[in-house]
Structure 1
């Protein structure tokens, strides 16, 4: 992209210098008006020269395009693969093996190995969303009934912010996700220890099951296998509640359980304001303890 920019900048500067030079030349060499000369100037300077220059620039840009487009190389079977589904208003994230089978699922957070290109398969469960990690690459739309692919490379460790870049409803601006770029050994260790035991709080888990939370949510290592909402396995390790809406504390989790629409307008999760505060607090403590 930088190469294309500087080539076009140098070309524009040369054309500008040539036009200014012709201006001074014409001002000094005063001649009588000639329709024949004027016609040649218009033909060569106003039609043929711009056509040749623009055709050359277009050809050069098209030649560069395969190396500029963000999805270049996504068909390489050796690349790591992640599937992301946009939903109102959160992100479903599945890590895949090289054959496309799901290893596990999480939500609103993505981890990448530094120095390794990763292929993202992007789709949506409802309306059009747009997947964008500004630090790492360009936007890619997520369109119902279609899977788009994007290839990204994290060059140094760090934590980056991702957003939805297409208006998708009331809480569009509250649909963030984080991307943590990790050294490859740390990333592989994280993958190997990803399975959760379901936590040690038996009473909190019992309340989670009793109040129907398992109808929408999965927690690995337990009998909660819902697929409508985000997978809550290792939920306590995440940095936020509600796709970046609140910090991940027990109080904020309880607040979101009781009245999710007040935290995130338009959220599809039902409220549990009818439950005793002690129960929602205990469920929140259980979720915060999931590692």
Structure 2
């Protein structure tokens, strides 16, 4: 699906065809016919449009016949039905600067483009570089929002795990850990992209735009540090819970072993006394009570010594 937007009197208006200064937004479902038509009408290399279809496309930029392509990664919710997959993944957004328009191509709907659409009435289509930087800003804000949500969910799951020690919470924490890997990898890629753009001045920015890009680099670096911090905290938490579970298991096994030893004493005496050989008092009522009394005396002695040694 292809959308065309234009800014008229500080209002976002959807139009039927691309015009000078318009914003072209390509959303799923993506069709080959639409790509071909858009490529021919706006003189965009077809590969630039198809790059967004690869979910593993890295953050980068390139230029072909004065048409500029910028690929940046943004987080989104994972709609997979697999319960072991990450809660959040990252997807590419392709930003294409043609001779007269700015084009964004998305393989999935994402919050960054929605936020940019909500503020498009404040943009100046003639300042295309600033529009690109504003998309970068929405992407960075999107990362920060998802990191806050991940941290909140992590704290909630950790508290539940402290209270219940269930496998369900551990599985969800592992899904959060996978999400953080996706986010930190994409943030690192975006940071390198922005730093390279600032170094090479790919967009030919003016001083105000350069300062804005520098601020975005700082915010992206901060988001990356936050993601790394959350990843380290979660890894330490999972290691701690693994140690706790192992200690609990050892404690249970220790108690079971002790109980087995205690129970083996009367079993041993009863087994000896029940052998098919002549035994004392076999023809009296003491044939039952004698092994019971002996077992209790020895058992009490062993238990008393056990508790005495445990208190030391």
TM class, shorter-chain normalised?
under 0.3
Between Structure 1 and Structure 2, the one with more helix by share is 2
Query: TM-score, normalised on structure 1?
Result: 0.26
Query: TM-score, normalised on structure 2?
Result: 0.25
